[in-house]
């Protein structure tokens, strides 16, 4: 690295006060904090009926994921000269090695979770070769890991079914992270619009496409040459399921997201908004379970 490029990197402030954070970065931080506060509030009510070792493992895993998410946000918002320069010099400015943090997380993770084969998508992201990989890691992998940890925690609860499941527990982490604050603040229109937008953002990241609306759905899930498979394309039933999900996503975009984004006459009440958030969560979970084409078993 030349002296000039080192001097250019040194010109980047090492720290920024909380008040000076970029608005987009501040929203990410506040949204993550609000989501975690709500999750912890819900978990505190169950703690007495849970295995204390599992609860301790869950808290340590969440704390490490929070640390990884904070660092991913920093790297995603870093000036390009910091990302493209010497990593060691960037670390001296306060940027941590996220790959190392992820290795530390795996040490905690494997205390209770059996090792499993990570997808090609995950293995590509954890190398963080491109700056956009940090954003993708937050939006895809961290959300899935939080959900898997929560499910592991639930399996060690007292096992009693609750006929009155709290709304927050029904929401996919991506939906809760993006829309919960708006919902609790009674911004129901914005919460619903944001939840549907979050689903399409998730598809965009998982399919690695820079499209929107019906064009995004078609390219991501089309039967020939698509990027994601909901179930299987080897049977008529599986192909029908794929086509049905395409229609559901297209309808959600055209009948929910577009009217809310382009008109002010649609008023939503709390119950309607809650139902829409659960619907968006169902869509997000289906995207979760969809298999990337590069993950499908190859023919022998």
Which pLDDT value is given to residue 84?
72
Which pLDDT value is given to residue 184?
93
Which pLDDT value is given to residue 216?
95
Q: Which DSSP symbol is given to 14?
A: S
Which pLDDT value is given to residue 42?
54
Which pLDDT value is given to residue 230?
92
CA of 110: how far to CAs of 53, 71, 106, 164, in Å?
14, 22, 6, 33
C-beta neighbour count of 50 within 10 angstroms: 17
Distance CA(145)–CA(166), nearest Å, equals 21
- Work out the burial of residue 93: count CB atoms within 10 Å of its CB; fewer than 13 is exposed, 13-18 middle, 19 or more buried: middle
10-residue stretch averages of pLDDT, the chain, 300 residues long: 40 40 52 57 49 78 86 82 71 81 88 73 79 79 79 64 74 89 93 94 90 94 92 90 96 90 76 95 91 57
pTM of the complete model beyond 0.85: no
Which pLDDT value is given to residue 117?
64
Which pLDDT value is given to residue 78?
81
């Amino acid at each position: 690295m030349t002296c000039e490029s080192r001097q250019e990197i040194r010109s980047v402030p090492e720290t920024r006060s909380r008040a000076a954070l970029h608005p987009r970065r501040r929203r990410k931080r506040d949204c993550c904090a609000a989501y975690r506060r709500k999750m912890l509030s819900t978990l505190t009510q169950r703690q007495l009926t849970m295995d204390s070792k599992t609860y301790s493992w869950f808290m340590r895993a969440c704390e490490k994921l929070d640390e990884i998410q904070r660092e991913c946000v920093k790297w995603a918002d870093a000036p390009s000269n910091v990302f493209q320069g010497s990593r060691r010099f960037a670390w001296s400015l306060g940027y941590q090695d996220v790959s190392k943090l992820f290795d530390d997380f795996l040490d905690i993770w494997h205390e209770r979770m059996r090792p499993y084969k990570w997808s090609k998508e995950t293995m590509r992201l954890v190398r963080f070769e491109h700056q956009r990989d940090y954003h993708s890691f937050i939006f895809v992998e961290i959300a899935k890991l939080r959900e898997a940890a929560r499910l592991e925690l639930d399996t060690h609860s007292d096992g009693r079914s609750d006929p009155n499941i709290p709304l927050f527990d029904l929401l996919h982490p991506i939906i809760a992270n993006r829309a919960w604050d708006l919902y609790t603040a009674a911004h129901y229109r914005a919460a619903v619009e944001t939840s549907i937008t979050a689903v399409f953002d998730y598809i965009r990241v998982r399919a690695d496409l820079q499209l929107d609306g019906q064009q995004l759905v078609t390219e991501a899930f089309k039967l020939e040459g698509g990027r994601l498979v909901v179930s299987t394309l080897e049977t008529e039933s599986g192909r029908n399921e794929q086509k049905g999900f395409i229609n559901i996503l297209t309808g959600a975009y055209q009948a929910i997201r577009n009217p809310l984004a382009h008109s002010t006459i649609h008023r939503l009440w709390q119950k309607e908004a809650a139902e829409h958030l659960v619907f968006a969560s169902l869509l997000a979970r289906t995207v979760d379970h969809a298999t990337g084409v590069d993950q499908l078993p190859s023919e022998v």
